[in-house]
Structures are given as C-alpha cells and as structure tokens.
Structure 1
Amino acid sequence: MKKVEINSGNKNPNFIGSWNIEPLLICDDLISYFELNKPKQGSGVVGSDVVGNGINLEAKDSVDISINPKEIIEPGNEVFKAYFDQLFECFKNYVDEWSFLEKISKRLEIGSFNLQRYKSGQHFKEIHTERFSLESLHRIFAFMTYLNDVSEGGSTYFNHYDLEIKPRKGLTLIWPAEWTHAHRGDILKKGSKYIITGWINFY
C-alpha cells in the first residue's frame, strides 16, 4: 500500500461559520438568566466519547444549565427566543454559503442546549466531538455563542485545523458535529467564561 496525494483544489475550508449576534444585550441577559437560576445549575456532564460518561471533572469542569427546547416558551424564558431568532439568521447564512445544505435544512431542528460557566482553572479538557455514538447520530451541527469577553485563556481549539478561537462577546460559531471537528476548551486563566451551546439535529 502506498499513500498518494490528490489535488486539493482551490479551497481548503474548515466549514466553521462565524458571526457576531446583535444586540449584545442578549448575551448579558443570558448571563443574568444563568446567575439568577442557581437551582437549575449542575456540574457539566460529558458523553460517551470521552472517558467517564456523566460527571467527570477530569474531562469537563464547568457548571451548566441544560434546557429542553419546549422550555423556551415558558414565562421568564423570553431571552431564549431572542437568542434563537439571531441564531436562525446565522444558520440561514450558513446554508446560503453551502448550498447543498438547502436539501436538508428544512428537516432540522434545535435540540437540547446548555448555558455554561467556566471559572479560572476550569475548561473542557478532553478533545471530543459532538457526534460520537448511535445516541448522537441525529446531530448534524453544533452551535456556540460566547457570552462575554475573556482576557486570558478559554479559547476553543480545533486540533485538526490547528485553529484557536478566542472568546469574544457575541461571537457565534456553527460547525459540523462530526469527528472532523474534534475540539477542546483551553484552560481559563482569569475571570469567568460564559457560553450557550447545543446542537442542530435531524427532526
């Protein structure tokens, strides 16, 4: 067996879309929601793609609020509708850029999602992917919005692309959920880092 190289063409995309959501007040409101709902907070959990399914502080050290999409319409949760209106605009732009997605985009929906807080010394330490077992085959894309600026550490690192993305308030990412987009969160060195993240799934 001999490995050969094929013509890479004129493009080498990483398929990670990025936008700034507006208004940034949405980010402040999501952080306030997190801090005002302490009974809903719990230790972040990991899936079976990393060692220790469930709570495993050696893999992921965070505090999360997990939310079912049905909860968006409940009183007091109006901020989520404002956020997802913005995310939908980002996704429409993503589909416009990669026109093949038009064939499947109308069969997709938002799944469960998380508000997460990392404090100094915490991060998602393990390289992981969002589609990693039969239980997660329905995930097509992951999304994430950084809710605050981070001065030291806390970047998201996509190892296959050697791509490090620094948290910036309002910066929103959408990327394929497959193994091709394995990633980790670098250790937070100062302050707090807040994100909202989840998945776009087959209906």
Structure 2
Amino acid sequence: MPKKTEMHWPLGKSAGICIHDNVLPSKLCKSIIKFFEERPHFNHPGKTFGGVMPDTKLSMDSHITGVNEYIQTEEEADFLSKADNAIYRLYKVVLAEYIQQYATLLNEWHIREDTGYQYQRYTQGMGFYKSHIDGSPFTGPGGRERVLASVMYLNTVKEGGGTYFDYFDYTCDAVRGRIVTFPASFLHLHGGLVPQSSDKMIISTFVTCPPDPVDTRPSSAPPTSEIVGGGTELPEVEIPEV
C-alpha cells in the first residue's frame, strides 16, 4: 500500500509551523548520509547571509542540487542527480499541502519552486546555528524573495539537535524522515540546537516568490485541488545506491 503524508500543526495553523512525518524513506536518508560521510572533500564550512561565521553557525555543508565543483566521478554526479530528484518528488507533495492551507499562498502569491537542497552536518556536542530568520526585508531587482523555509531531518537525535522557534517557545525534534515547513519571516526566528546524543544531518531548502505573475510551479506537481489536509499519496522514488 502506498504511503500517505502525515501532516501536523503542533501550534495550530495560525502559527504556520507544519510538520510532515515519514516523508523521506529511511533508506534514502541513510544513503545520503553515507555518501557525504564517505566523501569529506564535498563538505565545507556552513555559510550564513554574512558568509562563514563559526560563532553563528557551526556546520559542514554541501550542495545536492545543481553544479557541485567537488564532483570527481560520473558515479558521484549520478548519485546526486538521483538524490535531488527523489527529494524533489517527495517535497513537492509537502509543499502543495502547505500551500493549500493558506488562501494568500494559494491564490495570490506564485510560490511554486524551491531553491534546491543543501546537506548540513552538525557535529555531536558542537554544531549549532544561532537564532536567525531565513527571509530578508528586501530583494534586489529581479530577485526572488524567500517566503517559506523547510528543514528535512535525515537522522533521529534523541537529545538536543531540534529546531527551536524563539517567539513560540517551541522545539521541533530531529526525527528521521520528518520535514518541518514554516514562513521565512521575522516572527519565525529560529535556531538549530546543539545535538547532544549524536551528530545531526539535515537538508535545507527555501521556497521563493518570483516578482512576476508567472506561475512557476513544475507541471508535475499535484494539483492543489487534490490536496485536502494531509493524507496525500507519496510517490515511489528511486533511491540511489552509494
């Protein structure tokens, strides 16, 4: 039987923080972790809007989507391409469900694409990301403003490692396969807590709003009219082998 989405609003829809559990298959999560753990040359110090700032963010990051200068073999390129496609096919269902919940997102804003996927590793007892917001109060000419942010957890951290939302005094725990989505606004100040029991591996992405009225949602995305409060069937995806 095909898996279906499990959508939760821990603080109610008015808070805008939405959790989808069991979206990323365990095998996919483990495969992505293994790929980057076996290839340390892919990983580089995590950056913020201000660049590398280890007092603000202490992580090792790598791009899954797009051109990666660290690719050395065709096998590595093939793995990242397949991983990117698998994440995209699963995440677009989550995004469609979220958009369906808010009339402004559904009918007035044209937010149908993400910025790609970035792998991040936070070392046990050390890694963190201080409280920050993911949006900005402006955008340059022709730019695309961040509207939503999502964190995808690749492993379960039993102690620490969650995403803490300061103004809501709420922590979303790091659970393998979970995706948390929230507005990239000043109200959603949040930070990555230090993982105490193990390393934490996540994937991050943002959803943007183009300045023009063109609907950029990929044609393969499920029609929003078919999305009603969770329970959407998740697609079968090809899981790349390391």
1:169, CA displacement in angstroms? 0.5
Residues 119, 190 of structure 1: 8 Å contact kept = no
| TM value normalised by structure 2 | 0.70
Task: Specify which of 194, 198, 201 is matched with residue 205 of structure 2.
Answer: 198
1:79, CA displacement in angstroms? 1.4
Alignment CA distance shift 1:189-1:107 (3 Å): closer
Aligned to 2:95: 91
2:175 & 2:110 partners in 1: Cα distance? 30
Task: Specify which of 61, 64, 73 is matched with residue 64 of structure 1.
Answer: 61
Q: Within the alignment, does 1:14 sit opposite 2:15 as a pair?
A: yes
Aligned to 2:84: 80
> RMSD of aligned C-alpha atoms?
2.2
1:79 & 1:181 partners in 2: Cα distance? 29
Residues 110, 209 of structure 2: 8 Å contact kept = no
1:28 & 1:117 partners in 2: Cα distance? 13
1:87 match: secondary structure: helix
Residues 164, 171 of structure 2: 8 Å contact kept = yes
2:131 match: secondary structure: coil
Alignment CA distance shift 1:107-1:14 (3 Å): closer
1:130 & 1:24 partners in 2: Cα distance? 27
Unaligned 5+ runs, structure 2 = 1-11, 69-76, 211-242
2:78 match: secondary structure: coil
2:201 & 2:86 partners in 1: Cα distance? 17
2:195 & 2:35 partners in 1: Cα distance? 22
One-letter amino acid matched to 1:177: A
Aligned to 1:149: 156
1:22-60 deviation line (CA, Å, top 9, x unaligned):
42222112212322332221011111xxxxx21111111
2:115 match: secondary structure: strand
One-letter amino acid matched to 2:36: F
Alignment CA distance shift 1:175-1:12 (3 Å): closer
Aligned to 2:42: 40
Unaligned 5+ runs, structure 1 = 1-10, 48-52
1:137-165 deviation line (CA, Å, top 9, x unaligned):
61111111110010111111001111111
1:105-152 deviation line (CA, Å, top 9, x unaligned):
654321143101111122334210001354586111111111001011
Residues 156, 185 of structure 1: 8 Å contact kept = yes
Identity of aligned residues (%): 24
2:111 & 2:165 partners in 1: Cα distance? 27
1:85 & 1:104 partners in 2: Cα distance? 24
Aligned to 1:140: 147
1:140 & 1:60 partners in 2: Cα distance? 22
2:204 & 2:108 partners in 1: Cα distance? 21
One-letter amino acid matched to 1:27: C
